[in-house]
């Protein structure tokens, strides 16, 4: 089967965007060049040829649903009524994907610069390595504050370690997790059943599924994006402006 017609895309678009300073607006509805951030991510999923596109909505969801039904009527919507973390968000996609068989790409609704080419390469790597999960990573000159990707001698990912928990040696690693993934569907939803909210925020983190993957000896691969700017998320108004400048200069 062609790599580009055997996958579904799940887009996380439920976040509040606290640092954007406008409680009346969902973060993904902030505009860049006259279109919401979410527009660019759904358009990428559509152009890739996703068999299904599921968007997880939550905060100020009425406006997001309205936008999607007008601009992308074929997209399916899953509701995360309470924002209990990225793992909890993806759990909401299980029902819409009940009858789907194939790989799941996970994108973030606030990462509009990601190119179709990079996702194609990610999918290709996932297939080529016969991986159970594949992480899109990036190499930062200064990776402070980011989760580090620790690979084994064969180049597969054996650990993702948060900056605060990393040893001095691990902090020297410049490869970071972008939060963009491909998973084998059945294994993803199986692993999600085992994650627990063991953190100060009492949230379910998607990255916690990897512990289960490694316990099962499932293969986790990683591919570095060539242009770091592509994985930039928007959390502040300044970052929104930065994304807009990057789009103008494309």
**Which of the listed CATH numbers 1.10.275.10, 3.10.180.10, 3.40.50.720, 3.90.550.10 matches domain 3-248?**
3.90.550.10
pLDDT at 31 over 70: yes
pTM: 0.94
Q: Convert the pLDDT of each residue in 207-248 to its tens digit.
A: 999 999 999 999 999 999 999 999 999 999 999 999 999 999
pLDDT at 163: 86
Q: Convert the pLDDT of each residue in 127-168 to its tens digit.
A: 999 999 999 999 999 998 888 999 999 999 999 988 888 899
Contacts of 219 (CB under 8 A, 6+ apart): 129, 130, 131, 132, 133, 156
- Per-residue pLDDT averaged across 2-8, rounded? 65
Q: Where are the domains of the chain?
A: 3-248
SS3 9: strand
Q: Which residues pair with 77 in a beta bridge?
A: 55
Active centre residues (catalytic): 19
């Amino acid at each position: 089967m062609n790599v580009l017609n055997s996958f579904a895309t799940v887009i996380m678009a439920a976040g509040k965007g606290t640092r954007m300073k406008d409680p009346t607006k969902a973060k993904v509805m902030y505009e860049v060049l006259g279109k919401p951030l979410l527009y660019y991510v759904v358009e990428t999923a559509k152009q890739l040829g996703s068999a299904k596109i599921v968007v997880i909505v939550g905060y100020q969801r009425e406006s997001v649903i309205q936008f999607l039904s007008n601009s992308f009527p074929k997209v399916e919507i899953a509701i995360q009524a309470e924002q209990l973390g990225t793992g909890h968000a993806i759990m909401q996609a299980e029902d819409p994907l009940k009858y789907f068989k194939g790989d799941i790409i996970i994108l973030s609704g606030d990462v509009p610069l990601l190119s179709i080419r990079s996702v194609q390469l990610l999918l290709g790597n996932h297939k080529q390595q016969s991986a159970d999960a594949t992480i899109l990573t990036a190499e930062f000159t200064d990776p402070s504050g980011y989760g580090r990707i620790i690979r084994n001698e064969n180049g597969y990912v054996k650990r993702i370690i948060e900056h605060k928990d990393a040893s001095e040696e691990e902090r020297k690693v410049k490869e970071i997790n972008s939060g963009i993934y491909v998973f084998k569907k059945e294994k993803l939803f199986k692993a999600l059943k085992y994650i627990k909210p063991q953190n100060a925020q009492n949230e379910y983190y998607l990255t916690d599924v990897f512990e289960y993957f490694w316990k099962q000896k499932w293969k986790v691969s990683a591919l570095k994006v060539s242009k770091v700017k592509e994985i930039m998320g928007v959390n502040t108004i300044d970052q929104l402006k930065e994304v807009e400048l990057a789009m103008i200069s494309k």
